[in-house]
Amino acid sequence: MTQPPTPDNALNALKSLLLGEERHQLEEINERLEDPELRSEDFAEVLPDALRRSQENGGDLVDALEPPVTQCIQRSINRDPDNFANALYPVMGPAIRQSIAHTLKSLVDNINRSLEQSFSLQGLKWRLEARRSGVPFAEVVVRHTLEFRVEQVFLIQPGSGLLMKHVQDEIAGESDADAISGMLTAITQFVKDAFQAEQHEGLETVALGDHTVLLVHGPHAYLAAVVRGVVPSELRQQCQQVLEDLHRRFRARLAEFDGDSASLDPLVPRLQLCLQSRARETKEKKGLSPALLIAIAIVLMLLAWFGWHTWQQHREAEAWRDRQAQLVESLDSEPGIIVTDVAYGGEKLQLRGLRDPLSRPAADLLTAAGIAPDQVQMQWRSYHDLDPRFVLRRARQKLSPPATVSLDLEHGILVARGYADHNWLQRAELVASAMTGINAFDGTQLDSVDEYLRQEASRRLSPPAEVELRVEQRVARLSGVAPADWIDTIEPQLDSLPELSGIDRRELISTEQIQFQQLRSRIENASVYFPERSELGQEQQDVLAHIATDLRNLGALGERIQRPFGVLLIGSADGFGPATLNAQLALERAQQVRGQLVALGLPETLFQLQTRVGQLPILDPNLRRTEFRILPNGDE
């Protein structure tokens, strides 16, 4: 009899039916992963395709393989140099011969060019230039015969200005590459900041003498090529292609550059592609011999110089005569100067005459005429010109009027206007009467100092009609009634009045002070009367409403004139009955008045309470009231 299957066997059978194929595939994958030979076969199949795709996408895989491959080659050379030399022999021989031939050809061309130029007029000129500048003759020849030459190429990190790599040709002199790279970065950043350039924009060319610096910008580095001569249009495109090739092949190295230029040595061959040069084409010229041309040129130059020199002397003589005539004419027309004698002989102009000390200095007239002081000899005798302008200037000089006095000369009369003290006026009358050109002195239009100050203060303040303004011994005194706002402007307006020595406004009362006193009197004259009990009726509430309004107005006026106050509420009783009951009624009446005023919006801290009880046998019903007293500064 067949036994039924156990649960474990049934489960395994079910797994075999459902997952048998997937389990077989997993076992094959595991075997392939654990077998090194199978993995090597798989890697060999995909490696060629990976290399091709890496080359198409920028060569990152090639850059990654370059260090280990280089290390392998170096180890192979160190281990067996002969074997490596034998392998390279078929290639190195032709390459060396071609390089030597190219170098010799370039040397011969330079020698021929130097010899051709040495015995010509141009060659003599270049030899003089070499002797004067201290530069070797061969370098001078190369400078003038080359159309352009890229002498140096810098690869610079943007932002920091660090020099990443630098190459130069053999003829270029030594230079501080790090300083140049920093300078170029600073200039580029300055131009961008000065002209608010966009992030992608940058300086493209810098010119200095016969050198031009081409700047080609990239995301991780920019290239600067120093070119001597005329820059061809295609050179920028070639430099741009080199920079793009560097970013495509060495993007990671450029982006991760930390200042170690040795890590960028593989970039040198590509940077050297920018070190180009081109010689200028020369054409043979036919004509007269150089010696004859030089002789003709010298004769023509001598003739031209002699003619120009003669014409220049004639022109200078005419200009000198014109300047002399202009000077004499200017002196004759100048007020306060009279020319009596003029001598034009010799190299110096001789002048004699009369001059008022207040007239314009003669040296100023010399400058205006274009004549130096050592070209003129002048002798002047002093005199007083009676021209009104000089008479008035002399009067101002001798009288020394204060700034508040103006002097004018009208028909021979010296008129003084403004204000001055009595001492100056007496001195002016005495001195002016003795001056030449002044017939009389008029001081009637001068005001006293106090009157002037009163008028000036009144003009500045514009006082109200209720205010009296007077000035006594230079002190402004004000009395009457005026608004506080106007009173506050008195000192600021009169402080700038220099002659005013003080301000007295003790007799000046503000309108707000009067209003304050009136409101205070009205409040203190008011009382709130009660019936026999201490209950407020409608009549008392109406009285308190008016008193609350007066207290608010009084508070506003107190703030304006800086007079704080408190209110004393005095509760009274008629004295009929026990004294304790009357005292309690008086206090309740004061408390009820305070409560009603607080309910009308007044602060509770404003009030103080006090009681007062009448004495028998006088029983006055009018004592059943609450009175008000204003306490200055909040004190009782």
- The residue-averaged pLDDT of 70-77 equals 72
**Whether residue 403 is found in the same domain as residue 503:** no
For residue 103, give Cα distances in angstroms to 106, 107, 109, 266, 560: 5, 6, 10, 24, 103
Looking at the domain assignment, is residue 29 inside a domain? no
**Whether residue 492 is found in the same domain as residue 371:** no
The pLDDT, as a whole number, for residue 566 is 92
Q: Give the CATH number, domain containing residue 486.
A: 3.30.1340
* C-alpha span between 384 and 245 (Å, rounded): 92
**Whether residue 154 is found in the same domain as residue 238:** yes
The pLDDT, as a whole number, for residue 618 is 55
The pLDDT, as a whole number, for residue 2 is 46
Cα torsion through 121, 123, 129, 131, rounded to 10: -120
**Whether residue 176 is found in the same domain as residue 233:** yes
The pLDDT, as a whole number, for residue 533 is 65
**Whether residue 165 is found in the same domain as residue 262:** yes
Looking at the domain assignment, is residue 418 inside a domain? yes
* C-alpha span between 628 and 572 (Å, rounded): 11
Which residue, 403, 428, 447, sits at the end of a domain? 447
The pLDDT, as a whole number, for residue 608 is 92
pLDDT at 47 over 90: no
Q: Give the CATH number, domain containing residue 566.
A: 3.30.1330.60
pLDDT, tens only, 324-357: 777 777 777 778 888 888 877 666 787 888 888 8
Q: Give the DSSP letter of residue 561.
A: T
pLDDT, tens only, 245-288: 888 888 888 888 888 888 888 888 888 888 887 776 655 444 55
228 contacts 208 by C-beta, under 8 angstroms: no
pLDDT, tens only, 372-411: 777 787 888 888 888 888 888 888 888 888 877 888 988 8
**Whether residue 209 is found in the same domain as residue 241:** yes
pLDDT at 154 over 60: yes
The two tokens of residue 492 are 């600021």
Count helices and strands in the chain by DSSP H and E runs: 20, 20
* C-alpha span between 204 and 215 (Å, rounded): 5
The Cβ of residue 457 has, within 10 Å, a number of other Cβ atoms equal to 21
Which residue, 447, 481, 497, sits at the end of a domain? 447
- 566: β partners: 631
The two tokens of residue 431 are 């001195």
What mean pLDDT, rounded, does the chain reach? 77
Looking at the domain assignment, is residue 624 inside a domain? yes
**Whether residue 497 is found in the same domain as residue 538:** no
Looking at the domain assignment, is residue 618 inside a domain? yes
pLDDT, tens only, 595-616: 999 999 999 999 999 988 766 5
Answering whether pTM is above 0.75, one says: no
**Whether residue 235 is found in the same domain as residue 272:** yes
How many structural domains comprise the chain?
Answer: 6
At residue 477, what is the residue type?
R
Looking at the domain assignment, is residue 499 inside a domain? yes
**Whether residue 162 is found in the same domain as residue 97:** no
* C-alpha span between 587 and 594 (Å, rounded): 11
Give residue 287's region: left, alpha or beta (phi > 0; psi -120 to 50). left
pLDDT at 542 over 80: yes
pLDDT, tens only, 88-128: 544 454 555 455 445 545 544 555 555 455 545 566 676 77
Start-to-end Cα distance in the chain = 128
**Whether residue 582 is found in the same domain as residue 500:** no
Find the range with the poorest average confidence among 35-49, 459-473, 600-614: 35-49
Share of the chain above pLDDT 90, in %: 7
Looking at the domain assignment, is residue 359 inside a domain? yes
- Give the best-scoring range by mean pLDDT among 13-27, 136-150, 439-453, 559-573: 559-573
Which residue, 423, 447, 471, sits at the end of a domain? 447
pLDDT, tens only, 224-251: 888 887 788 788 888 888 888 888 888 8
Q: Give the CATH number, domain containing residue 373.
A: 3.30.300
pLDDT at 159 over 90: no
The pLDDT, as a whole number, for residue 602 is 92
195 contacts 298 by C-beta, under 8 angstroms: no
**Whether residue 97 is found in the same domain as residue 175:** no
**Whether residue 590 is found in the same domain as residue 567:** yes
* C-alpha span between 320 and 587 (Å, rounded): 114
The pLDDT, as a whole number, for residue 636 is 43
For residue 487, give Cα distances in angstroms to 404, 466, 496, 504: 28, 13, 17, 12
3-state class percentages of the chain: helix first, strand second, coil last, to nearest 5: 55, 20, 25
Could you tell me the residue range of the domain that residue 66 belongs to? 56-118
The pLDDT, as a whole number, for residue 71 is 72
pLDDT, tens only, 294-310: 878 888 888 888 888 88
Looking at the domain assignment, is residue 476 inside a domain? yes
600 contacts 545 by C-beta, under 8 angstroms: yes
Looking at the domain assignment, is residue 485 inside a domain? yes
Share of the chain above pLDDT 70, in %: 74
* C-alpha span between 634 and 636 (Å, rounded): 7
The pLDDT, as a whole number, for residue 599 is 92
Better-scored residue on pLDDT, 197 or 131: 131
Burial class (CB in 10 A: 0-12, 13-18, 19+), 531: exposed
